Structure 1
Amino acid sequence: MDTKNFLFCSLDAALIADLAWQVHREGHDVKYYIEAERDREIGDGFVPKTDDWRGNVAWADVIVFDDIWVGSEVGTGELARELREQGKAVVGGTPNTDRLEADRGYAMDVLEDHGVNTVAHHVFHDFDAGIRHVQANPAPYVIKPLGEVQNVKRLLYVGNENDGSDVVDVLRAYEKAWGHRMTGFQLQRKVEGVEVAICGFFDGERFVDRINFNFEHKKLFPGNIGPSTGEMGTSMFWAGRNRLFEETLGKLAGWLADEGYVGSIDINCIVNDTGIYPLEFTPRFGYPTIALQQESVESSTAEFFYDLAHGNAPEVEVHDGYQVAVRVVLPPFPFDDPTTYDENSRNAAVVFETERPEGIHIEDAKKVDGQWRVAGDNGMPIVVTGTGETMQQARKQCYDRLDDIVIPNMYYRDDIGERWIDGDGDRLHAWGYLGP
């Protein structure tokens, strides 16, 4: 493919620096815009920047939005739709696909309208009404906040008590601490099984043939304990349009085509021997999922996204085995404490013992005079990846690469991928979800 112009836009937090860096390394012209002032140094030294994304729209052959948020409001889907109407090729959503993430009740309605099985769920905008529902229908529930605070990952609560008493206690606490910001919440019946996300890339008319299946590790500590984070790591593999896909995303292909959606869309599910139960959508790139997907794509990343944005039914060559990604973080992640961050993490050096490190992807990082350093305020400088013919081999390569990295005070989970080895893979095969 000839050299193309790619404009990457972060209209809230800076998330897409690594994809921009990959496209830039493949020889294409890149400009990266970051709206949030506190994040603007992220990607410095890795990718060219711009301070006026709208002024570069005419220049761009492809425009890529990294999230659904414009500051504190949902809005990139509206921008993407406007740009498409102007004839621009855009990787991004639509107002309705943005709503899949921002409005969980709407997301469940879309699934049900297209014949997808869902977990029993109710949306509430009043804490007392939610508490009365749990007391009248005792069971374990998951609390999922709606609106702006849904991005505060530690507020997601998974109940454990059969009578729902812990959920009632948490709702009462949330009303006192977060009632002024939590405009509503969804109560979802807790379902036991294997948690798996089905991820497809859609080109405005159809899904790309290769489907990605990934396993998120959201808790801070090994063993899946501690506070919820955005994500601490991911394991995955690519496959064809198996039962998991056909009974979930596959049923939405016509709706996505009507919307004109372009990009990655992910639906997280609980799967057991009785069925597939969707939990939530990610109608955008996942992080650090996209870094691991890049690592496993063996053809041109830039060409893939160019064809995706132009509706060219892109073909992609992917690694045929398994992949693992581990997010490396620094204090006080996942909490906000500027003093702790300034004392322990700001501008910290990222040191590699190997001269040419492989499988390293940037998140909150910059390069100054050739030295990698921590950037921004979030404490998530890099993601380390590994691939292998088995999950064990992918884990070994990833953690061997981690052993060659030195960042003062860094920490990470050392069990990414173990769930697959310990039985999740066997269960999915036994239940018949991974066949052709």
Structure 2
Amino acid sequence: MKVLIVGNGGREHALYWKINQSPLVKEVFVAKGNGGIKGKRVPIDPTNVKELADFAQREGIDFTVVGPEAPLVEGIVDEFESRGLKIFGPSQRASMLEGSKVFAKRFMLKHGIPTANFEVFEDPDKAKRFVKDFGVPLVIKADGLAGGKGAVICKTEQSALETIDLFMNRGILGPAGKRVVIEEFLEGEEASYIVMVNGTEYVPLPTSQDHKRLLDGDKGPNTGGMGAYSPNPFVDAETEKAIRELIIERTLKALAQEGIYYRGFLYAGLMLTSRGPMVLEFNVRLGDPEAQPLLMRIKGDFLEKLLDFYEGKKVSLDIDERCSLCVVLASKGYPEKPEVGKEIHGLEDIKDEDVIIFHAGTELKDGKLITTGGRVLNVCAWGNSLKEAKEKAYKAVEKIHFEGMHYRKDIGDRALKFF
């Protein structure tokens, strides 16, 4: 069969790597893809949903899997389904769970899904007055899509006021920051809990933990993610039971009550607090970089599982008992103004079969591999323990070089004591 993967990053390279292993596959197309993807690349922007649907019809694509959030919010699923094309992802209306922080927070409040207390502001002066009355720490979030960079933890009043200025007055995030959510700061361990959903049926993927902040020790600005690992030891059996009952199942029931049919991946970004698990954000797709270590731990034919689940069949996933860990190599200046156009060296020196490199911001130009984005490469490894997976990943990282290369050196450290 012919499969189309929509997206350009490390998550899409990981999807390509996993789906291409299926004996059901005849050809895998990727739109647009990156310099590490060996499949048939399609020069159509992921958000150009009509052109992608035209291509899928013309090429006879049997099944499409959407990686990033932007095409989903643009309505790619609605466009494909209106033409009778099979596509795995939520509708435009369902994608509002990620497309609007305001929609998601009000949805959670209405349906009793645990999340931080919050207020919504469209007037920057009112937002600033609230900050002065409420106090810090607090979190300020842009309403719209911001590539993982629209949430700022403010520990001083000055940083909160500056963030409101940047988002609402100076418009550094464009329309995404015209409206903001200001919410209480939650303390605890972060967890990413991702499930495949078809209506009220769902199948959990392995647990994971992302590292959002740019610098070691969870310092610096938020990013799209600087690394991840799986499994997440902070999600024990009791915690997972609470996540499923209080968050996932309530959310799916609430979507049904709102008349929203949800089919696709659903990602709950959580804080495991003393009050129990609470939702920081919903994403309507696989996380990036969580997808990379997660897909490495799913054994067998993932495409067959996706197809069966899409058709409404009961499925279960066979999970590799080994740990997996992903280190993101980023460009100098990421996340604000990444420097690009730097040649990448050393990939050919990595020989370990337990290491996989998923490309993100790369492109081949005149036979050279060049950086084209903020997050450039994902260096991933399996290990019989998290420590072993980390050692293998960082040993591979040492062989890679491009000018201005930046990465965190503490991916997985907080969990090492559990393994």
- TM-score bracket, normalised by the shorter chain, equals 0.7 to 0.9
Q: Which residue of 2 aligns with 1:9?
A: 6
| Residues 1:228 and 2:225 are matched in the alignment | no
For 1:283-362, what aligned pairs fall within 5 Å after superposition?
283-336=284-337, 340-342=339-341, 345=342, 347-355=343-351, 357=353, 358-362=355-359
Q: Which residue of 1 aligns with 2:38?
A: 46
Q: Which residue of 2 aligns with 1:202?
A: 197
CA distance in 2 between counterparts of 1:323 and 1:26 reads: 21
SS in 1 for 2:170: helix
- Alignment size in residue pairs: 399
> Which residue identity is paired with 2:336?
F
SS in 1 for 2:243: helix
CA RMSD of aligned residues (A): 3.0
Structure 1 pair 335–109 and aligned structure 2 pair: CA distance change class (3 A): closer
Contact 1:297/1:317, CA 8 A, preserved across alignment: yes
Structure 1 pair 266–152 and aligned structure 2 pair: CA distance change class (3 A): closer
> Which residue identity is paired with 2:128?
I
Structure 1 pair 14–356 and aligned structure 2 pair: CA distance change class (3 A): closer
Contact 1:350/1:373, CA 8 A, preserved across alignment: no
CA distance in 2 between counterparts of 1:175 and 1:90 reads: 36
Structure 1 pair 121–87 and aligned structure 2 pair: CA distance change class (3 A): same
Q: Which residue of 2 aligns with 1:95?
A: 92
> Which residue identity is paired with 2:221?
P
For 1:57-136, what aligned pairs fall within 5 Å after superposition?
57-58=56-57, 59-70=60-71, 74-75=73-74, 78-136=75-133
| Residues 1:266 and 2:288 are matched in the alignment | no
CA distance in 2 between counterparts of 1:231 and 1:406 reads: 20
TM-superposed CA distance for 1:20, in Å, is 2.1
Contact 2:345/2:400, CA 8 A, preserved across alignment: no
TM-score normalised by structure 2 residue count: 0.84
| Residues 1:363 and 2:355 are matched in the alignment | no
> Which residue identity is paired with 1:90?
I
Q: Deviation digits for residues 231-255 of structure 1, max 9, x if unmatched?
A: 1001221787522222211222334
SS in 2 for 1:80: helix
> Which residue identity is paired with 1:105?
V
TM-superposed CA distance for 1:308, in Å, is 3.1
* Unmatched tracts of structure 2, length 5 or more: 44-50
TM-superposed CA distance for 1:44, in Å, is 6.5
> Which residue identity is paired with 1:285?
L
| Identical columns (%) | 19
CA distance in 2 between counterparts of 1:349 and 1:224 reads: 28
CA distance in 2 between counterparts of 1:152 and 1:270 reads: 16
Q: Which residue of 1 aligns with 2:161?
A: 168
CA distance in 2 between counterparts of 1:286 and 1:272 reads: 21
Q: Which residue of 1 aligns with 2:380?
A: 385
1:159 corresponds, among 135, 154, 158, to 154
| Residues 1:410 and 2:410 are matched in the alignment | no
TM-superposed CA distance for 1:379, in Å, is 4.0
Structure 1 pair 63–320 and aligned structure 2 pair: CA distance change class (3 A): same
Q: Which residue of 1 aligns with 2:47?
A: none
Structure 1 pair 245–26 and aligned structure 2 pair: CA distance change class (3 A): same
Q: Which residue of 2 aligns with 1:252?
A: 251
TM-superposed CA distance for 1:267, in Å, is 1.1
SS in 1 for 2:288: coil
TM-score normalised by structure 1 residue count: 0.81
CA distance in 2 between counterparts of 1:165 and 1:216 reads: 28
